A and B are shown apart, each in its own frame.
Chain A
Amino acid sequence: MATLRVEHLNKTFPAIERGSDATTAIDDLSFEIGGHVFVSVVGPSGCGKSTLLNIVSGIETATHGSVSVSEDGSPARLGYVFQEPRLLPWRTVMQNMLYVLEGEDVPDRARDYLRMVGLDDAGGKFPAQLSGGMQQRVGIARAFAVEPDLLLMDEPFSHLDAITARSLREQLQGIWTEAKKTVLFVTHDIAEAVQLSNRVLILAPGGRLFADLPIELPYPRKASDTEVAMAQAELLRRFEEMQEETDAARATDVAS
């Protein structure tokens, strides 16, 4: 398990057209996570959640500040579950797994993780032969199979129907408890964040850290549990607070 350290992170996208302003996606963000934790980042759309994951994974670079992922000083292995499955359509499920894996026990590991998401028989199929939910499960199996020190998940259930998403959330808790990974999970769904994580970071528009809240409830959690519902209400209250503050700040801006 790795430690992710984000220090004074800033990401500004340059203006696309002349005359328009540069956009600040993340502004002076600092936090640290490590160990067997499930940390969710929630916030309204456009608050830099996905950008944060892209910087952590190295797909994008930071404008200022630093992001380091270390596993006892050595560089850490990352797993990434995207909003869409992002499988290679011309490779079978098994080949998709093998594409990202390295090492000797690779086919066994791929099979183990496919079994974990309930797709032991799907190895020889092409992605187009699977439903959307099954494809996303392959994406999850792939990310766990690299046995990452840090697992990044970017709204992995947002494109799925409510019933599939619900069952995958329950499965994910089981896999996470078993595999003991550090997870950084991005979502705009507060209920989902509360059900899955033991720590929630709320980002305000402009990519500022608004709150850092622990959720101390035992796993597995169901969306219908009373404690989960209460924690959800509490989080929602903080979210509304954040929105009121943002609106007030915007009003002052306009007035001045």
Chain B
Amino acid sequence: MSSVPVARASRGGRPPSLVTRRRVRGIAGLVIGVGGFLLVWTLLSALIFGPFTLPPPSRIGSVMWEIVRSGQFIHHFVPTILRLAYGFGLALLIGFPVGYLMGTSRWWRAFFHDMTIVAGSIPGITYAVLALVVFGIKILGPILSVGLVSMPYVAINVAEGLDSVDHRLVQMSDAYGRRRASIVRNVLIPSVAPFAFAGVRLSFALAWKVEQLTEVFGSSSGVGFQIRHEFEDFSIPGMLAWVLLFVIFMILVERFVLAKLERYLFRWRLEDRP
């Protein structure tokens, strides 16, 4: 029978799977993209702006290393991350109940809808300045500006998630006599989770930028404070080094914490049919 050897041959000399090929292609794209960016930067620095106006990547790299090695990075990084975490926690604490009310009651939807849209459209810098003027530069200002800028996204996404609940699953649960608490845990929360998570990722991307702004405007510690400090010293390498360190950290959080968590939580969606 010819079918047996054919089947064996395809198993033995297996070509790289589609997933592997996609991953290789993705990494190649990333390396070429970043490499190209650094090359253009180096050329601009050497040929057009000069190393004082635009220091080359190698110079920034060594300053970054110096900041990390001296312990300054940790020193200013911890307060920034804590403020971000508190502010973000505040956004979730308010955003979830508001979203729940909007998603379950017409009256509350009407009450909150326009306000959340307006709150979401206001530029981050407005929140930064406002929070500093009203609540001061200590700790409350930055936390509140992060909370205010993130909250509408969380609320709107939670409300939309509740809208998307498949009522046939709720009916099924009723027909089998499930209690309300069990339906919330097994049907409502899992339906809302992907939306809530999208809201969290979106607002996280905004939150850390606003957090930096508040620190630039008024704070006595944190990464944003260091950026302003270097700016006032006319130290472009120092400024860029702080910015880049923070950006790299945020990308790592996005890629390796949030994206991984999302993949794990929603693995039931990613499975392919046999």
Q: Which A residues lie at the B interface, using CB under 8 A?
A: 57-59, 78-80, 82, 84, 86, 88-91, 99-100, 126-131, 146, 152
| Contact in complex: B175, A80 (CB < 8 Å) | yes
Task: Confirm or deny: B274 has a beta carbon within 8 angstroms of a beta carbon on chain A.
Answer: yes
In order of increasing CB-CB distance, the 7 nearest A-B pairs are A100-B176, A90-B190, A80-B175, A86-B172, A126-B268, A57-B175, A90-B268
Cα of A131 to Cα of B168 in the assembled complex, Å:
20
Contacts A57-B174, A91-B190 given; 16 further ones with Cβ under 8 A? A59-B174, A79-B176, A80-B176, A86-B169, A86-B172, A88-B187, A90-B190, A90-B268, A99-B178, A100-B178, A126-B267, A126-B268, A128-B268, A128-B269, A129-B271, A131-B273
- B193 / chain A contacts, CB cutoff of 8 Å: 90
A-B contact count (CB 8 A): 60
How many whole Å from B155's CB to the nearest CB in chain A?
Answer: 23
Task: Say whether B274 contacts A128, CB under 8 Å.
Answer: no
> Is B190 touching A88 in the complex (CB atoms < 8 A)?
yes
In angstroms, Cα B171 to Cα A57, docked, is 10
The binding surface of chain A is classed by DSSP as: loop
Select from chain B the residue with minimum beta-carbon distance to A102.
Answer: B177
- Interface membership of B53, Cβ < 8 A: no
9 A-B residue pairs with CB within 8 Å:
A58-B174, A58-B175, A78-B175, A78-B176, A88-B187, A90-B193, A91-B186, A126-B271, A131-B274
Would you list which residues of chain B between 232 and 274 have a CB under 8 Å from chain A? Answer: 266-269, 271-274
Distance, CA A78 to CA B178, complexed state (A): 12
Complex formed: what's the CA distance from A39 to B266 in Å? 41
In angstroms, Cα B143 to Cα A56, docked, is: 54
Interface pair B273/A82, CB less than 8 Å apart = no
Q: Give the distance in Å from the alpha carbon of A47 to the alpha carbon of B273 in the complex.
A: 36
Encoded as 1 (CB less than 8 Å from any A CB) or 0, chain B from 177 to 206 comes to 110001000110010010000000000000
Closest to A85 in B: B172
- Known contacts A57-B175, A58-B175, A91-B186; is-contact A129 B274 (Cβ 8 Å): yes
B269 touches A89 (CB 8 A): yes
Complex Cα distance, B268 from A131, in Å, reads: 15
Query: How far is the CB of B21 from the nearest CB of chain A, in Å?
Result: 23
Q: What secondary structure prevails in chain B residues at the interface with A?
A: helix
Are B268 and A89 interface neighbours, CB within 8 A? yes
Report B-chain residues with C-beta under 8 Å of the C-beta of A127. Answer: 268
Known: A129-B271, A129-B273. A82 touches B172 (CB 8 A): yes
Residue of A nearest to B193 (CB): A90
Return chain A residues, CB-CB under 8 Å to B169: 86, 88
Contacts of A78 in B (CB 8 A): 175-177
**Contacting residues, chain A, for B267 (C-beta < 8 A):** 126
Bound Cα distance from A89 to B191, whole angstroms = 9
Instruction: Report the bound CA distance from A146 to B272 in whole Å.
Output: 30
Closest to A143 in B: B176
Q: B168 and A84: CB pair below 8 A? A: yes
Q: Which residues of A contact B171 (CB under 8 A)?
A: 59, 86
**What distance in Å separates the Cβ of A225 from its nearest Cβ neighbour in chain B?**
34
Complex CA gap A84/B166 in Å reads 12
Smallest CB–CB gap between A127 and chain B, Å? 8
Among the interface residues B168, B173, B178, B268, which one has the most CB atoms of the partner chain A within 10 A?
B268
Q: What's the least CB distance linking B191 to chain A, in Å?
A: 8
Write the nearest CB–CB distance from A151 to chain B, whole angstroms: 11
Chain A residue with the shortest CB-CB distance to B176: A100
Using Cβ atoms and an 8 Å threshold, which residues of chain A touch B269?
89, 128
Contact with A along B148-178 (1 / 0, CB 8 A): 0000000000000000000011011111111
Instruction: Write out the residue numbers on chain B whose beta carbons fall within 8 Å of the beta carbon of A99.
Output: 173, 176, 178, 182, 186
Assuming the contacts A82-B168, A88-B187, A99-B186, asked whether A128 and B176 have C-beta atoms less than 8 A apart, the reply is: no
In angstroms, Cα B270 to Cα A89, docked, is 11
Complex CA distance for A126 and B270, rounded to whole angstroms:
10
Give the CA-CA distance A128 to B269 in the complex, in Å.
7
User: Complex: how many Å from CA A82 to CA B273?
Assistant: 22
Partner of B168 from A57, A86, A152 at Cβ < 8 Å:
A86
CB distance from B138 to the nearest CB of A (A): 43
Give which listed residue, B175, B187, B190, B268, contacts A59 with CB less than 8 A: B175
Nearest CB on A from B180, distance (A): 14
Chain B nearest CB: distance from A85 CB in Å? 9
Q: Quote the shortest CB–CB distance from A134 to chain B (angstroms).
A: 9
Contact of A128 among B175, B190, B271 (CB under 8 A): B271
CB-based nearest B residue for A132: B273
The residue on A at minimum CB distance from B191 is A90
A129 to B272, CA, bound (A): 6
